[in-house]
Amino acid sequence: MEQDLLVIKDLCTQFKTDRGVFPAVSGLDITIRKGEILCIVGESGSGKTVASLSLMQLLPSSGSIASGQIRFEGTDLLKLKKKEIGQIRGKSIAMIFQDPMVALDPVFTCGSQIVEAIRIHDKRSYAAARERTLELLKLVGIAHPERVFDAYPHELSGGMCQRIMIAMALSCNPKLLIADEPTTALDVTVQAQILELLKRIRDELGMSIMLITHDLGVVAEMADRVAVMYAGKIMEVGDARTVFKQPQHPYTQGLLKSIPHLDREGERLYSISGSVPSISAMPEGCRFAPRCPHAAELCRRREPQMIAGDGGCFVRCWMLDQAWEEEEAG
């Protein structure tokens, strides 16, 4: 569709380990529309980071994309040469990471790092790049851009460094910003400010944002659409409000039930028993079946397909599948 910026189809990313080669992400379908914030949510080990690194083709050497398509503005990124991918990365697609302190170089001032980032893709003079850097620092809500330009990362707070990272990511006007847990290293008030900033940037610049988080509170605050990921697969995807109001997959239901409510103080917090399977020990059938309160024999035997659920959502669950009875009988 015209409004789709990024379409990932049937992506499979695998890792070579000492016990063999195993897929960490398989049959992954994700679409991001122009100007929207899509949140990818799921427990630790679901494959959220692997999905985003695949998209940027920044996988570690033990990882590789076995199959699939990643179409960005109609071009399949997997068919591009290394150099062409490099041009898209950082120019059309930019990424910010969980820990800004790791991503920023401690021996250069913050300003000079952004200037560098600008000049990689844009052959403008140092003076012009500096001017642009100061503008970007202002855009990300830094009150004294000149002062921060000359500061080293360790002289600034974590929240401030994350703003610098965002400024750097924005330096080439990307169409898609990927943010992998951009606020988990920050305390809650700073987290709220950074999320607010991301939203404002989206509104002002009209870019799309793929926001990766394990925090449903962040999803509720930010997402236009949400994709719930489990064990390398999307289990449910749809409009965020619809998913929150009427979660259809038992995994989504479990995640929502485990959010603490301030008004229910003293109540015992629900948690989904068990944990995400490792890539070398994926269960047969539905990957969530071993932890699912509704799992039936069929769920443990055959993998469910993604089907259209209520409210425009798509859900990977046998319970909602018309083919259930036929399969059961067969």
Contacts with ligand ATP by CB under 6 A lie at 15, 17, 24, 42, 44-50, 60, 62-63, 214, 278-279
Q: Cβ 48 to Mg ion, closest distance in Å?
A: 5
Q: How far is CA 291 from CA 230, 283, 288, in A?
A: 11, 11, 6
Strand pairing report for 75-76 and 93-96:
unpaired
Residue 62 binding target from ligand ATP, Mg ion, none, CB below 5 to 8 Å by type: ligand ATP
Question: Which residues, 6+ apart, have CB-to-CB distance to 260 below 8 Å?
Answer: 269
Q: Cβ 286 to ligand ATP, closest distance in Å?
A: 17
Residue 47 binding target from ligand ATP, Mg ion, none, CB below 5 to 8 Å by type: ligand ATP
Q: Cβ 244 to ligand ATP, closest distance in Å?
A: 20
Report which residue's Cβ sits closest to Mg ion. Answer: 49
Cα gap 127→130, rounded to integer Å: 5
Q: Cβ 268 to ligand ATP, closest distance in Å?
A: 24
Cα gap 31→79, rounded to integer Å: 18
Q: Which is nearer to ligand ATP, 93 or 136 (CB)?
A: 93
Instruction: Please report, as ranges, the residues that interact with Mg ion according to CB under 5 A.
Output: 49
Q: Which is nearer to Mg ion, 184 or 305 (CB)?
A: 184
Residue 125 binding target from Mg ion, ligand ATP, none, CB below 5 to 8 Å by type: none
Measured torsion, CA atoms of residues 55, 60, 66, 71, in degrees rounded to the nearest 10: 10
Q: Which is nearer to ligand ATP, 20 or 311 (CB)?
A: 20
Q: Which is nearer to ligand ATP, 3 or 278 (CB)?
A: 278
Q: Cβ 151 to ligand ATP, closest distance in Å?
A: 29
Q: Cβ 241 to ligand ATP, closest distance in Å?
A: 24
The residue whose two tokens read 């995400």 is 276
Q: Which is nearer to Mg ion, 182 or 247 (CB)?
A: 182
